[in-house]
């Protein structure tokens, strides 16, 4: 088989890239080791920056998003009995959109029915990508296949084959492991508030988010040693109530979870995001804690830069954007990493309690009293401009 671009991974990044390239006449094949049902079953982010929404519209996949998504002009930070609203629209001129990653993936799948997307592709190997004639081999239903291509794009996440195929000494890795996790529950109940609420409480962080007017997503900070089995439904709801302001706790509607999981938090970046004819995008190159809602949006900005670069290459023979892809993408990645690290440190409890708590209180007091500080928070939260 011959194609121009072979994309590894059929998550939202891989599917969005495939869609944008296909609309511009660039031939693609997408390989995914899981089934479509498994991909759709992954519960992930739900807060979209305007760039991600714009890309979905550019991909002609935003009809349902524009009809069903929630638009939020702000969010709240609760701490020490106070509630501070960050007016995103008033401070930055922009809002954010609430629409689940699962729904984005579904929309992209539906738009590409009939496209060359190979699910349950096993034993994927990337070959000869240090040179100009890369090849990807895989097996499907027991038969071996080979794809010759111009470029390979790794959108297969932190544990995929793409980054692992690059020689270890060709990459520089940066990582920060946070000493806590998030216990999360997804439930078909109305959200406790009409906007997202972050809580800094003596018992630990909590987050009240949503996917729609009838589906809520809640999190509480937990120990890394804990498992989902340690968290009965009653323990979770009781703990969430304790960490919320009284008015919110009293109005919380509980219901049976449709998904429960614990997520460890880390910051991770690998440089560069290109090796030969292989490009990395999304979680294959960087991971941020979910506090700042940047993971999916960073993957979308990678897709923006890389799709434009490949279109310029094939349409005009201009390789400047391809040659500078890694540098351009990483400049935005590191700003989002910084923001996610800052917000995580601001809102969570750590073992260094006395000093950290005083710093958090000072930071939150400063934030409450400074419009400029709130504007900086809002500017980062809604998403920094693309370069």
Nearest Cα to 32, choosing from 12, 52, 46, 58?
Answer: 12
Residue 366: active-site member:
no
* Sheet containing 122-127, strands listed edge to edge, beginning at the edge strand earlier in sequence: 122-127, 135-140, 143-148
Asked if 183 and 308 count as a contact pair (C-beta separation under 8 A), the reply is no
**Which residue intervals of 96-201 are DSSP H helices?**
101-111, 161-165
DSSP three-state, residue 367: helix
Q: Residue-wise over 120-152: b if at least 16 C-beta within 10 A, else e?
A: ebeebebeebeeeebebebeeeeeebebebbbb
Which of these is catalytic: 201, 294, 313, 348?
A: 294
- Cα Rg, the chain, nearest whole Å: 21
Asked if 218 and 258 count as a contact pair (C-beta separation under 8 A), the reply is no
Residue 138: active-site member:
no
Between CA 364 and CA 332 the distance in angstroms is 26
Residues in the chain: 387
Which of these is catalytic: 99, 138, 325, 381?
A: 381
Which of these is catalytic: 99, 218, 290, 304?
A: 290
Which of these is catalytic: 72, 79, 304, 313?
A: 72
Residue 72: active-site member:
yes
Which of these is catalytic: 198, 218, 219, 305?
A: 198
Paired with 103 in beta bridges are none
Helix axes 50-58, 12-23, angle to 10 degrees: 40
Asked if 269 and 333 count as a contact pair (C-beta separation under 8 A), the reply is yes
What distance lies between CA 76 and its chain's CA centroid?
A: 21
Residue 198: active-site member:
yes
Residue 290: active-site member:
yes
Task: Tell me the catalytic residues.
Answer: 72, 198, 290, 294, 381
């Amino acid at each position: 088989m011959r194609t121009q671009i072979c994309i590894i991974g059929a998550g939202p990044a891989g599917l969005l890239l495939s869609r944008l390239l296909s609309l511009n006449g660039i031939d693609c094949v997408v390989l995914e080791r899981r089934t479509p049902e498994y991909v759709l079953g992954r519960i992930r982010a739900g807060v979209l920056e305007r760039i991600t929404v714009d890309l979905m519209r550019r991909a002609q996949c935003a009809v349902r998003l524009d009809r069903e998504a929630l638009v939020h002009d702000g969010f709240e930070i609760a701490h020490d009995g106070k509630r501070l609203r960050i007016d995103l629209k008033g401070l930055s001129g922009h809002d954010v959109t609430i629409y689940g990653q699962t729904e984005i993936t579904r929309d992209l799948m539906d738009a590409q029915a009939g496209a060359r997307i190979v699910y349950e592709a096993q034993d994927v190997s990337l070959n000869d990508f240090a040179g100009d004639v890369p090849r990807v081999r895989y097996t499907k239903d027991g038969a071996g296949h080979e794809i010759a291509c111009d470029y390979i794009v790794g959108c297969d996440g932190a544990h995929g084959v793409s980054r692992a195929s690059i020689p270890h000494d060709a990459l520089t890795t940066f990582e920060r492991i946070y000493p806590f996790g998030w216990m999360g529950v997804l439930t078909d109940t109305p959200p406790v508030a009409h906007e997202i609420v972050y809580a800094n409480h003596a018992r630990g962080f909590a987050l009240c988010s949503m996917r729609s007017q009838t589906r809520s997503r809640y999190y509480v900070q937990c120990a890394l040693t804990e498992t989902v089995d340690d968290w009965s439904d009653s323990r979770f709801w009781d703990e969430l109530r304790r960490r919320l302001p009284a008015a919110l706790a009293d109005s919380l509607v509980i219901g049976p979870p449709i998904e429960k999981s614990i997520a460890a938090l880390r910051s991770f970046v690998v440089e560069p995001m290109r090796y030969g004819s292989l490009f990395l995008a999304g979680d294959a190159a960087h991971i941020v804690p979910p506090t700042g809602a940047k993971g999916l949006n960073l993957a979308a900005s990678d897709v923006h830069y890389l799709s434009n670069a490949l279109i310029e290459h094939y349409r005009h023979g201009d390789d400047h954007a391809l040659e500078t892809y890694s540098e351009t993408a990483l400049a935005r990645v590191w700003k989002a990493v910084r923001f996610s690290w800052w917000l995580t440190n601001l809102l969570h409890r750590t073992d260094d309690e006395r000093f950290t708590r005083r710093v958090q209180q000072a930071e939150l007091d400063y934030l409450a009293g400074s419009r400029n500080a709130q504007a900086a928070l809002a500017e980062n939260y809604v998403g920094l401009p693309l370069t």
